Amino acid sequence: MTNSYLAPTVGVTAIPLREVLPWLIFAGLICLLGVYFVGAEQGATAIFKGMYIHEFVHDSRHLLGFPCH
């Protein structure tokens, strides 16, 4: 008796750009917002009063090379 096995076929499905583009734009905006809060949220460009945001992202500011004091 001979056994024959069929190899599974794997098909690659392409994701259309119109489905990916909104997520890429959203991710880009979130990244820009993060860079703003880490790099510029203090002093003259501050949106929020006080130094709460500055103190919250202080260590990441140094890690990424942004000067703050």
pLDDT tens digit string along 15-65?
Answer: 888 999 999 999 999 999 988 888 887 767 778 787 788 788 888 888 888
Q: What pLDDT score was predicted for residue 1?
A: 60
Q: Is residue 64 within 8 Å of 39, Cβ to Cβ?
A: yes
Q: Where are the domains of the chain?
A: 17-63
Q: What pLDDT score was predicted for residue 27?
A: 97
Q: What pLDDT score was predicted for residue 7?
A: 76
With tokens 């000067």, the residue in question is 67
CA dist 60 and 65 (Å) reads 8
